[in-house]
Amino acid sequence: MMDKKELTLFIKAEALRLGFTVCGIAQAAPVDLRTVGYLKKWVGEGRHGTMGYLERNCDKRTDPTLLFPGCRSIICVALNYFPGNVEEERLHLSRYALGRDYHKAVKDRLFMLLQAINGKVKVSGRPFCDTAPLLERYWATRAGIGWIGKNHQLIIPNAGTHFFLGELLIDAELEYDTPLEGNRCGECSECIDACPTNALTAEGFDARLCLSYLTIEHRGELPENIGEKMGNCFYGCDRCQKWCPHNRFATPTQVTEFTPSAALLAMDESDWKGLTEERYKELFGNSAVERCGYGQLMRNINSLK
């Protein structure tokens, strides 16, 4: 039978073996009052746009022990999706959308991690990846795997921002990591300067202005003249990551599911503009882009200037 320390070390080693770049562990507890206050104010001001799910499940979002009763530990992991240097002069999608569906890639590995833990100690657990009211970046900082930059992304020291986050909540007590507190950007403002819509400012982030929100989450008409700001990216927007100096540490992913398909990389402007629904299904059948739907993707493509 493993003791707490041995089990913690086993979990971290197993997470790395499964392909996660980092793994940290936080004690499950209600979210701190400062973060709760920020979240309530942000939603209260309507900065979440039409993402109505952020108005719901506030109790669970701010207390993971309500999301998974009996939860004692939050195991936080990050899976690298950085595709390397792809040709961004052509029309393209955000880097995170070039591979297969990340929800499945992350959750499959978390289920394997849970299974491995159960091979040592009997625990109950629930894996999550962007699928539940859980403050992923907050817990990642509590677990010491990164800190939240002015670009509102999790910055992993010596690795950057191109990561999908996942969490495994379990009912066993473990040894906990030291949180990475505060914003460590210093005087840098590269992401704010690079943001084409002023969604990011020194005062914070307004999703309603963000190209990533508008092209992926927003279902209605796009604002007039948005195409000029989109540049040649018609799904998402990577600018606030692209210029972040911490991404000089980014290394191409070794996760096979995230290797961009040759068919996707070969698409040129006329292919995208003439995209049929059938071809859309072939290209994105197993991708998070499928959630956006063909009509919305064409709305974005047709808005480009």
Q: What amino acid positions are annotated as catalytic residues? A: 130
| Interaction between residue 199 and ligand SF4 (CB under 6 A) | yes
Closest CA to 290 of 129, 103, 135, 106: 103
Number of residues that bind ligand SF4 (CB under 6 A): 24
Q: H or E element: which one contains 76?
A: strand 73-80
| Interaction between residue 237 and ligand SF4 (CB under 6 A) | yes
Which range binds ligand SF4 by CB under 6 A, 42-50, 187-195, 220-228, 288-296?
187-195
* Cα(206)–Cα(234) distance, integer angstroms: 19
**Residue 72 DSSP label:** -
| Interaction between residue 197 and ligand SF4 (CB under 6 A) | yes
Residue whose CB is less far from ligand SF4, 92 or 246: 246
Q: What is the CA radius of gyration of the chain?
A: 20
For the chain, how many residues are written? 305
Subset of residues 98 to 137 that bind ligand SF4, contact rule: CB under 6 A: none
| Interaction between residue 245 and ligand SF4 (CB under 6 A) | yes
Nearest-CB residue for ligand SF4: 149
Query: Please, which contacts does 52-55 make with residues 24 or more away whose CB atoms are closer than 8 Å?
Result: 53/133
273 strand-pairing partners: none
CB of 45 to ligand SF4, least distance (A): 16
CB of 230 to ligand SF4, least distance (A): 9
**Other C-beta atoms within 10 Å of 217: how many?**
17
CB 166 within 8 A of CB 128: yes
CB 81 within 8 A of CB 251: no
Burial call 256-294: b when 16+ CB within 10 Å, e when fewer: ebbbbbeebeebeeeebeebeeeebeebbeebbbeebeb
| Interaction between residue 47 and ligand SF4 (CB under 6 A) | no
Which range binds ligand SF4 by CB under 6 A, 172-180, 238-246, 273-281, 285-293?
238-246
Subset of residues 201 to 230 that bind ligand SF4, contact rule: CB under 6 A: 210-212
Which range binds ligand SF4 by CB under 6 A, 48-56, 194-202, 262-270, 273-281?
194-202
Which range binds ligand SF4 by CB under 6 A, 44-52, 135-143, 220-228, 233-241?
233-241
Residue whose CB is less far from ligand SF4, 21 or 153: 153
| Interaction between residue 189 and ligand SF4 (CB under 6 A) | yes
Q: Which residues bind ligand SF4 (CB under 6 A)?
A: 149-151, 185, 188-191, 194-197, 199-200, 210-212, 237, 239-240, 243-246
